[in-house]
Structure 1
Amino acid sequence: MSTPTLRERLATILAQTYGDHPPTELTREPTRRIYLSTTATGVPGIDFLAIERVVNADLPLPGLNEPEQELAARLMTRAELGADEIAERLRVEPRTVTRWRSAWKEAEGDGS
Structure 2
Amino acid sequence: MIEITIRLKGPAQARRLATLLRTLADTESDRGQAKTYRGAARRLEHLARPFRYTTTRPPRPAHAELDEEAVQRVVKGLRPLPELSRAEARIACWRLTARRCSAPEIAARVGVTPRTVNRWRAEDKAVTR
Return the offset for 1:96. 0.2
Partner residue, 1:79 = 99
Partner residue, 1:99 = 119
The higher relative CO (CA closer than 8 Å, separation ≥ 6) is in 1
The C-alpha deviation readout for 1:66-87, integer Å capped at 9, x for no partner, is 0000000000000000000000
Partner residue, 1:88 = 108
Runs of 5+ in structure 2 lacking a partner?
A: 1-62
Match of 1:53 among 46, 70, 73: 73
Runs of 5+ in structure 1 lacking a partner?
A: 1-42
Partner residue, 1:67 = 87
User: 4+ residue runs of structure 1 moved beyond 6 angstroms?
Assistant: none
Matched AA of 1:51: V
Return the offset for 1:44. 5.0
Q: Distance in 2 between matches of 1:95 and 1:45?
A: 26
- Percent of aligned pairs sharing the same letter: 39
What TM-score does the superposition give when structure 2 sets the normalisation length? 0.50
Q: Distance in 2 between matches of 1:102 and 1:72?
A: 15
The C-alpha deviation readout for 1:36-90, integer Å capped at 9, x for no partner, is xxxxxxx952000000000000000000000000000000000000000000001
Taking only aligned residues, the RMSD between alpha carbons, in angstroms, comes to 1.2
Count of residues paired in the alignment: 67
Matched AA of 1:90: V
Structure with bigger helix share is 2
Please say which structure displays the higher CA radius of gyration. Answer: 2
